[in-house]
Amino acid sequence: MSAAEAGAVFHRARGRTLDAFPAEKESEWKGPFYFILGADPQFGLMKAWSTGDCDNGGDEWEQEIRLTEQAVQAINKLNPKPKFFVLCGDLIHAMPGKPWRTEQTEDLKRVLRAVDRAIPLVLVSGNHDIGNAPTAETVEEFCRTWGDDYFSFWVGGVLFLVLNSQFYENPSKCPSLKQAQDQWLDEQLSIARQRHCQHAIVFQHIPLFLESIDEDDDYYFNLSKSTRKKLADKFIHAGVKVVFSGHYHRNAGGTYQNLDMVVSSAIGCQLGRDPHGLRVVVVTAEKIVHRYYSLDELSEKGIEDDLMDLIKKK
């Protein structure tokens, strides 16, 4: 693979869209499909967490390399192939300006280059990717390294929206960037309403909520009550069916009115009792069905028959 080809793998998202899926070819429903969702490979966290120094630890990430390689191998074996593979943020652990950031980034790129070229990568920004209080510089670095920090794309009549959730958590150092995403999002949600798309699906790193729209502010793992309610109501008004997130390093989620909030556990460090894993998401004309698999399960057994029947249903 040439340097140009390798770079293109991580620059699918440009101009606020994904060049793997031309809108003019993907705006109409074509039948069921599926994609793979992962979250938080976060190279370096397992060592940092084990030593109790999450701010300055993380000088080893061999475990995360092995786990992400296993995830890639499992995805590449799937038949039929998923439409895409989305990583819901915290690609690496080292925050902007911290040691080992460059090395973690290069190692993750090396692992992700092994993803089958027929399976586009969709990369979501997390707080460790752009900082807890992102700046114009940290956002620009992410875009230069991985592609746009927010964008939309169509697959078979389904509208996907990728958001930079850090703008909803702490935009104090980049208010104009947050305002730009807000305006863009309103435009995209208007399109979703007007086009009557088959489904609309959102990807963002930080969950709206972990279990309930009315739960207390966690000050880290969920968005504030006022922010989450405002966003959720916008999504519902536009017909968004589900929001997928990572960040929690555990499986969680709930429903608010007719909006599902799905929090998917990590490829990398687990903070609960879930196994390292990936989520299979099947999109049919009527519904969106998802199931979390451990890396071992998906590697050894693949996707279960009931999900495969939905994928193959005409």
pLDDT score recorded for residue 304: 98
State the residue range of the domain holding 179: 14-312
DSSP sequence for 141-209: HHHHHHS-SSEEEEETTEEEEE--THHHH--TT-HHHHHHHHHHHHHHHHHHHHHT-SEEEEE-SS-S-
The whole model's pTM is what? Answer: 0.97
204-222 burial, b at 16+ Cβ within 10 Å, e below that, comes to bbbbbbbeebeeeeeeebb
Within-domain flag for 5? no
Within-domain flag for 97? yes
CATH code at position 74: 3.60.21.10
What digits encode the pLDDT tens for the residues 72-84? 999 999 999 999 9
Within-domain flag for 4? no
What digits encode the pLDDT tens for the residues 141-176? 999 999 999 999 999 999 999 999 999 999 999 999
Within-domain flag for 268? yes
Within-domain flag for 2? no
**Domain count of the fold of the chain:** 1
Q: Which of 67, 26, 60, 34 is nearest to 45 (CA)?
A: 60
Within-domain flag for 192? yes
Does 5 score more than 90 pLDDT? no
Within-domain flag for 3? no
Mean pLDDT of 229-233: 98
DSSP sequence for the chain: --HHHHHHHT--EETTEETTS-HHHHSS--S-EEEEEE----BTHHHHHHHT-TTT-----HHHHHHHHHHHHHHHH-SSPPS-EEE-S--BSSPTTSTTHHHHHHHHHHHHTTS-TTS-EEE---HHHH-SS--HHHHHHHHHHHS-SSEEEEETTEEEEE--THHHH--TT-HHHHHHHHHHHHHHHHHHHHHT-SEEEEE-SS-S-SS-TTSPP-SSSS--HHHHHHHHHHHHHHTEEEEEE-SSSS-EEEEETTEEEEE---SS--SSSPPSEEEEEEE-SS-EEEEEEEHHHHHHH-S-HHHHHHHH--
Within-domain flag for 1? no
In the chain, the percentage of residues whose pLDDT exceeds 90 is 91
pLDDT score recorded for residue 148: 97
pLDDT score recorded for residue 219: 79
